[in-house]
Chain A
Amino acid sequence: MIALTPFASAVQTLRILTPELILLAVATAMMTAGAFVRLPRRAWSILSAATLGLGIVALFLVRGETYDPYAGLVVNDALAFYSRLIFLLTGLIVLGMAHDQVDDARAPEFFGALLMINAGAMLVCSANELVFLFVGLELVSIPTYLLLYLARRNASTQEAATKYFFLSIFSSALLLFGMAYLYGTTGVSNLKALAYLSKTMANVPQLQLGLVALVFLMAGLGFRIAAVPFHFYAPDVYQGSPAILAALLAWVPKGLGFVAILRTVVAVIGAQGAESALNQKAVLLAAILAAVTMTLGNTVALAQNNLKRLLAYSSIAHAGYLMIGVAVAFRNGSSGGVTLGAESLLYYLVAYAAMTLGAFAVIIAINSGDRPVETVDDMAGLAATHRPLALAMAVCLFSLAGIPPLAGFVGKFELFTSAWSASRGDDASLFQCLALIGAINSAIGAYYYLRIVVVMFLRPATGKPFSVRLTWPTGAAITACTLLTLVLGIFASPIMEAAHEAAIAVSDTPAPLELAPPKAVTVR
């Protein structure tokens, strides 16, 4: 690899970001044109789908385009490819679920915001700069406020939008504070450079300053993934907003939050190796967050009757399971190149996306104005009249509960195994406890998922009959999610291998071209 001139480097950056640029350009055009052109929502959604398709093509075309990671704004490694592809594909699924959830008047803004959220999520996946990463995160948050406000204008929606807005900017502030500290320990904001310095120089980042950065970064990103104690918004916002936005919130911020954690915290602090005090503290913090998040999510979910609220707690619980992967991933690369943590985390993200979006898609399909489906009891008797939908829902719920041979089982199994196999050295018992708590929690969690299945299949229908209007895009989204949940469980190896490649990329720090150490600001 040769060093590029600043101009060539900028061109290469733009080339790598082609998929995001396409999405952003079309989104901007749609939002602008929306004020002047009257088109049915079908046209806007078709345009959005075409844009996402174009984005996928562009993503494959730029695959392998790289440049010096220590000079670049973005990095186009296996992790970037893997996670961007997932966001594009799930973007299509979300679009399928969303295509008829908005009226014609607000369609251009609605679909434009969806595209922007996708572009932002993809920016986060390929960001190699602290500031750029933050830009990506805000590119997701701001359109989300818009969406929450746009979708429906009643009191509960507005309450949800307000809550999300305030808590979100609060978390952004925490995140920025953490980033400032991380920058302050070294004086560089390039993530690969940070990881390289952390790997090669002793006491970088300095322990106490590093801890401040760690806690604030985890707090800021913890909001995105809905980890306890930053989860408070989730149940209220999910319940208050339409199901399509609950689905979006349950997946996109969580996915990009975990990728951002891998890119920043795990890559930098993990590079220090298992011996360093900061690394051990980071493992402890992730383990505490994981245990608390799982336990709270699962136990409180037991008492829920509102479907969206229940799924909110389910998404909190899953943030806890995924956090186990983060705890293990801090040991990435140490002791014989263990990448199990990040690998199982990345696999489970895909599984989570498929099964959660699938469950929400079924709720969207059966929910209607004259026969609302809000609570678990509203699902009673679904299997009697709409067996395929009930079966799809059951597959997703079984997978969420972690029942073999579905994707959720394989993912949980991999996560718990990764924790168990990482248990060596001083904190061996910590990892073992984590695996154990995870297993107990998935047993608790099975109760509330299976309760829905029982209600759907065994309870007689009550009240009005379901008024299901299943358009083909929603049907396709449900089918895709259900099939993915099944296939990923039975035939996991291709995606496992891709996740493995991506996990290696997390801790990949190649030798710099010229070893000119940046001015290190060491604070004593």
Chain B
Amino acid sequence: MTEFFVHNAWIVPVLPLLGGLIAAVGGRRLKAYSYLPVAVGIGLAFLVSLVLLTGSGGHTQPTAIEWIDVAGLNVPFQFRVDGLTTMMLAMVTFVATLVTVFASGYMAGDPGYPRFFAIVGLFVASMTGLVLSSHFILTYVFWEGVGVCSYLLIGFWHSKPSAAAAAKKAFLVNRIGDFGFAIALFWLWSVCIGHDLSYDNVFSKANLAGLQHHDIVGISFLLFWAATAKSAQFPLYVWLPDAMEGPTPVSALIHAATMVTAGVYLIARSTPLIVLAPEVQASVAAVGCFTALLAALIALTQNDLKRVMAYSTVSQLGFMFMGLGAGVGNLAAFAVIGAMFHLFTHAFFKALLFLASGSVMHSMGGVIDMRRFGGLRKRMPITCITFALGSLALMGIPPFAGFWSKDEILSSLHLASFKSEALGGIYPTLYLVIYWTAIATAALTAFYTGRAFFMTFFGPERLPKPDDPEADPADAGHGHGDGPDPHFGHEVAPVMWVPLAILAFCAVVVGALFGLTGWFAHHLEHSPGLAEPEDFHHAFDWFTATVSTTGALLALGLSYLFYAQRGPIPARIAGQIRPLYLASLHKFYVDEIYNWIVVLPTKVLAGAAEFFDIVVVENLVRLAGWLPRVFGKSLLAPFQNGLIQYYAAVTALSVAGLLFVFLWLSVN
């Protein structure tokens, strides 16, 4: 049976797609049961993925279906089953199943209920197709597919102006990345053997040996460009925090666990190529490091619980890129596997944190500002405990999942600072700086996570007032059906807390279960470029583990002191370093800077173009329309005077004239 599924891996994307189609077509009849076909489709896809995960040995390429076949471009519809793919598949479908179940409760009563699940089905189909495809162009197709789904889901409440704007922003920023991806594909096409963009050909030794160094650097850089948009890295991360306008399950599934990791996946997939360009690797690590630090600093002061989580996602994606960039020399496999492992564990605990935030939001009637509520641990014990477990995983406290993966990234950075001595130049120093910055960022992570947790669940119990300005309209927008709940702050229904509990269990165990046993690395080593070299030995890095854990614990303690009791200390500190505090609160004015250097010039240009269009082009068009009419009407039409003698005479004269001209031409 395993054999069957390996050779028919297309079943995985088709199942959720079918579910989504059923929800879309039958939504009017299914009504409140619209989630069923999608949940069943994704659940079955998860089971198939499990079979693939446990059963596939090495790398198999199921048979291809002809798709595009013209001269110079042959794109088969071909999937592949290898370590990287099965791992991503299992993770995506597992999280998606739980999120769908959670959403069936969370979204209940929304007028767009069937639409929501139809798009979720389409999204899971695209995402699984993305990780399954065996060809750059096919990847690109699904890459666009997840982009569209993300756009549709961020703007799910499209009547809300902020949601519509956020959806537009996400789409546009992602298009910038797609542009890089497209150029990378064109470039690859023009230099690869046989213009064949399948992974097997592009990453084959013969092909890589034939590439010029500047080609490798250029293509790798463009691929990284594409990844920065999809995976929300500096400077293209700005869409992700705004994307929280979408329903919370969407934030959990797409903007934390799955889609945003597509960029990380792409870079990991392209490891054999990128490893040949140390410049690009160092840039990846540096950009990742800067993004991680920036996002962590912003997260320190945000008051919106979901925004804290969004910036935390940006920051954690930065960690993954640091890991991807640390693969110097024979460290590549170890570093990339570390990054992928973090992607894997992060998916569980970040989805958990988002869903838990969603459950808080649900229970608070749509209010998500942490200053408006507090001390919820007694009213919402399950949410509180699961949130705590997720937070511990995010902070990287042993033995929770995040610790193991973050530690791998940190130690690969540590190793990179030694290994890169072979490269000379500034590389060793750079990697050392990144390493220490990463440890500092890890401590910051612990602090802002602790802050969010304590502000929400500790301190004196506070609930939003029923006439809270945010509660009512937001609640109506979220369509909880039964109107604003007069009794804020009850624990959510089992359909919502059971997924939380399952994810919390995963957040506790997946790190140790898959990391410590070496299962994860072993599973991934069949993917191209991810086999650990024979001469590579790695021992557990006690130094890094001790330092980062100590830092995280200290930061956690500090956040308890500051926020659990709601003392005056944070305000006093904020007052002391007011400019810095304001900068962080206003997200370092990045959006404003964008507004000044990108949006405004574009608007000015658009205005100028519009003026040019109205004044110059339009009149030119009028002229072009006027000329032939005048030419035809006043110059040519009079010849048609209705007199037959005249017609015959003109015909005869024309023949004579033509004859004369041609004979004259032939003589001369």
Nearest opposing residue in chain B for A164, CB measure? B644
A490 to B629, CA, bound (A): 33
CA distance A219 to B662 in the complex (A): 14
B204-253 CB contacts (< 8 Å) to partner A: none
Contact status B650-A215, CB under 8 Å: no
Among the 9-residue stretches B113-121, B334-342, B475-483, B630-638, the one with 4 or more Cβ atoms under 8 Å from chain A is: B630-638
Please tell me if A12 contacts chain B, counting CB pairs below 8 Å.
no
A301 to B632, CA, bound (A): 7
Please report the C-alpha to C-alpha distance between residue A12 and residue B637 in the assembled complex, in whole angstroms: 51
A173 CA to B529 CA, complexed, in Å: 83
CB distance B644 to A167 under 8 Å?
Answer: yes
Complex interface: chain B residues within 8 A of A236 (CB): 640, 642
For chains A and B in complex, what number of residue pairs have CB atoms within 8 angstroms? 84
Binds B, one of A20-28, A206-214, A415-423: A206-214
Q: Which of A211-242 contact B (CB under 8 A)?
A: 211-212, 214-216, 219, 223, 229-230, 232-233, 235-236
Contact present for B648 and A300 (CB under 8 Å):
no
Which of the listed residues A219, A229, A277 has the most CB atoms from chain B within 10 Å of its own CB? A229
Contact assessment for B640 and A208 in the assembled complex, using a CB-CB cutoff below 8 Å? no
- A444 CB–B CB distance under 8 Å: yes
In whole angstroms, what is the CA distance A299 to B667 when docked? 35
In the bound complex, residues from chain B placing their C-beta under 8 Å from that of A208 are 663, 666-667
Q: Which residue of B lies closest to A174 (CB)?
A: B655
Distance A153 CA – B629 CA, assembled complex (angstroms): 35
Min distance, Cβ B599 to any Cβ of chain A, angstroms: 36
User: Bound complex: CA of A216 vs CA of B651, how far in Å?
Assistant: 11
The verdict on A302 contacting B642 (CB below 8 Å), with A174-B655, A207-B666, A219-B651 known, is: no
A163-B644, A236-B642, A301-B632 as given contacts; A170 in contact with B662, CB under 8 Å: no
Q: How large is the interface on A (under 10, 10 to 19, 20 to 34, 35 or more residues)?
A: 35 or more
CB pair A299–B629 under 8 Å, yes or no, is yes
B629 contact set on A, CB distance < 8 A: 299, 302-303
Interface pair A277/B636, CB less than 8 Å apart = no
Which residue on chain B has the smallest CB distance to residue A236?
Answer: B642
> Is B54 interfacial (CB-CB < 8 Å)?
no
State the main secondary structure of chain B at its contact with A: helix
Tell me if A215 and B658 are in contact (CB < 8 A): yes
Q: How distant is B407 from chain A, measured CB to nearest CB, in Å?
A: 59
B659 at interface by CB-CB < 8 Å:
yes
Which single member of A162, A233, A285, A302 contacts B628 (CB below 8 Å)?
A: A302
- In angstroms, Cα B663 to Cα A281, docked, is 10
Q: Does B647 make an interface contact (CB < 8 A)?
A: yes
Specify which chain A residues have a CB less than 8 angstroms from the CB of B667 in the assembled complex.
208
Does B651 lie within 8 Å of A302, measured CB to CB?
Answer: no
Q: Is the CB of B640 within 8 A of A235?
A: yes
CA distance A236 to B629 in the complex (A): 20
Please measure, in the bound complex, the distance between the C-alpha atom of A345 and the C-alpha atom of B152, giving whole angstroms: 48
Q: A296 an interface residue at 8 Å Cβ cutoff? A: yes
- Contact at B651–A211, with CB atoms within 8 Å? no
Q: In chain B, what residue has the closest Cβ to A216? A: B655
Residue B665, interface by CB 8 Å: yes
- The listed residue (A207, A219, A223, A302) touching B633 by CB distance below 8 A is A302
With A166-B648, A167-B648, A212-B659 known as contacts, the answer to whether A299 contacts B631 (CB < 8 A) is yes
A118 contacts which chain B residues (CB < 8 A)?
none
A491 CB-CB contact with B under 8 Å: no
What residues of chain B lie closer than 8 Å to A219, measured between beta carbons? 651, 654-655, 658
B625 within 8 A of A: yes
Looking across the interface, which residue of chain A has its beta carbon closest to that of B656? A215
Q: A215-B662, A299-B629, A444-B628 are in contact. Are A166 and B644 (CB under 8 A)?
A: yes
| B659–A167 touching, CB < 8 Å | no
CA distance A300 to B632 in the complex (A): 4
CA distance A223 to B647 in the complex (A): 12
Q: Measured between C-beta atoms, what is the minimum distance from B563 to chain A in Å?
A: 64
A171 to B654, CA, bound (A): 13
**A447 CB-CB contact with B under 8 Å:** yes
* Selected contact of B654 from candidates A163, A229, A299, CB within 8 Å: A229
5 contacts between A and B (CB under 8 A): A162-B644, A163-B644, A219-B655, A236-B640, A299-B631
User: Which B residues are within 8 Å of any A CB, using their own CB?
Assistant: 625, 628-629, 631-633, 636-637, 639-640, 642, 644, 647-648, 650-651, 654-655, 658-659, 662-663, 665-667
